[in-house]
Amino acid sequence: MRSFKAIQEEARATNDSIKRAILSGDSSVQKFYDNAVVFVTGGSGFLGKHMIEKILRSSNVRKVYMLLRVKKGKAVQERLKAILDDPLFEELLKEQPNFVNKLEIVEGDSSEDNLGIDEKTWARLSDEVNIMFHVAASVNFRESLKMATFINIKGTREFIKLAKACKHLKSVVHVSTAYSHATKDRNKGDVKEDFYQSPIPPETMIQLAECVNDDKLDAMIEPFMDQWPNSYTITKAVAEDLVRVMGEGLPICIVRPAIVISAYREPTIGWVDVKNAYGPSGIILGVSLAVIRTLLADNIKIDFVPVDLVTNTMLTAALETHDRYIAGNQQPIIYTVSGIRNPLTFRELVDVINNEARPFAPTKALWYCGAFITPYKFLYLILTLILHYIPAIIVDGCCLLTGQKARLLKVYNLVQSLSSALRFFTNNEWLFGDANTLSLHNKLSETDKVIYNCDISSVDIKESVLIWTYGVVKYIIKEDMENRSYALWKQSVLRIVHYIVLPLYLYGLFKLTSSVITFTYFIFVMLYQYLFVLF
């Protein structure tokens, strides 16, 4: 693998090429967005935020309406300020200091009727909006089925209601997931860019969520959950059927990304949202901090796609959907963004993190960084006990004795929760068809292929993992990535300590376990002999 410095230089060159192509004005996609009014749900999330940045940076839209709800007592304007303070917008701010004037907040909630939008604002949106992106979703794998239904299914219904009300509508993009129909019975098989039968009618699901309590709803839907691992994937599957039925007659499409990771090139190499710490990026975070030492995962092909390629697919899919509709083809089309043509195994992922990404080990690392995977559950449980929980108990015990707060055991409970939530995806694999997305990219002009690249084969997937690790350390842990001398020195010291302490620790556990077994055996024999003499 190339040095990270070489990767950064190439990224800068690529972004310079994109800037020149944007300034050339020779782009069909740019012209599609010229003077357009765009409405976006989920604009505060990882993907939605990135897409808004790219729209504003690459095109001359008139306005972007962004649906936001009041959250944790923060008004929508406060939330917008927090969003715009993200490093994601630094380049855009340099190029367009007044870009915020094109952003307008719509107060609402995608889980409510009419998206929680008041009548006056609804009428204004109906008169102005041309292009719509539905990115809002509950991506919490442990979300209650009721809440996931309100956000992922009902939210989609209300979004399409608004689309049908828009008088000058040109295109609608609904963001789903490649895993919406990655069911247990399709493991090792194909998942095509096509609609599949919904496990339950969308309206029925919404009505049940509105009428029955959580426990009863879970019990009623349990038979359908046999094929889906969580509330997120099953509700996204149902939402797709809602798009198929309710979206009839609209210029609408679906984009299905696989596991979305940090930016490969745009707007800055490695950018990732802080909130991604609770998803797949949490694995990178845990290994980087030396909190995660072992993972339960088969050596399967995993499907990672950089966020900038997903954004580009969404923006270009909107144009093609419009062109198809004008040409008389009103069938909704699905675009899957997958790494199927550029696969990476889980073992290769861990190898990159353990080796090439080691220079990015943060100063906050608790120990010498490194982890290994096993597909065997019994071995994983033993390793988790030895490498996670016993050290956590020892460290927390020492903290309590010295009057400090014990927190490592809580951290490992969170790690276990994350591992459990991702287990279905780290032990199964599917072949996601992406012919529509490949065709979409191939139809682009040479200029648009530069600005809106959505060809996954252009990504060096191993390098993308290295970039992802860099991004997690820089944007989530917030490390200084220029001055790495202390972090590297700390890792070199911890490496020596690790290889001294680990054998002693394992030997101590072995001796302690042997003593416990011997003592237990002795007590058992003595008890047996006593009972034998007694009776």
Q: What integer pLDDT is reported at residue 533 of this predicted model?
A: 58
Question: In angstroms, rounded to a whole number, what is the distance separating the alpha carbons of residues 280 and 286?
Answer: 10
240-274 per-position pLDDT tens digit: 999 999 998 999 999 999 999 999 999 999 999 99
Question: In angstroms, rounded to a whole number, what is the distance separating the alpha carbons of residues 529 and 405?
Answer: 48
451-510 per-position pLDDT tens digit: 999 999 999 999 999 999 999 999 999 998 888 889 999 999 999 999 999 999 888 888
Helix residue ranges per DSSP H, 289-427? 307-326, 346-354, 377-384, 390-401, 408-426
Question: In angstroms, rounded to a whole number, what is the distance separating the alpha carbons of residues 113 and 110?
Answer: 8
CATH of domain 13-272+302-342+430-459: 3.40.50.720
Residue 190 amino acid letter:
D
Split at pLDDT 50, 70, 90, the class of 530 is low
145-174 per-position pLDDT tens digit: 999 999 999 999 999 999 999 999 999 999
Give the Cα-Cα-Cα angle 44, 46, 49 (nearest 5 degrees).
Answer: 50
For every residue of 180-201, DSSP letters joined together read: GG--GGGTTSEE-SS----SS-
Residue 438 amino acid letter:
L
The more confident residue out of 533 and 277 is 277
Split at pLDDT 50, 70, 90, the class of 70 is confident
399-437 per-position pLDDT tens digit: 888 888 888 888 888 888 888 888 898 889 999 999 999
30-67 per-position pLDDT tens digit: 999 999 999 999 999 999 999 999 999 999 999 999 99
Residue 259 β-bridge partners: 304
Q: What integer pLDDT is reported at residue 16 of this predicted model?
A: 94
Helix residue ranges per DSSP H, 278-387? 281-288, 307-326, 346-354, 377-384
> pTM of the predicted model, to two decimals?
0.92
Nearest-CA neighbor of 376 among 386, 366, 387, 384? 384
361 touches 369 (CB < 8 A): yes
Top-ranked range on mean pLDDT: pick from 35-39, 375-379, 512-516: 35-39
Question: In angstroms, rounded to a whole number, what is the distance separating the alpha carbons of residues 278 and 2?
Answer: 30
98 touches 132 (CB < 8 A): no
Mean per-residue pLDDT over the chain, rounded? 91
Residue 307 amino acid letter:
V
Q: What integer pLDDT is reported at residue 515 of this predicted model?
A: 84
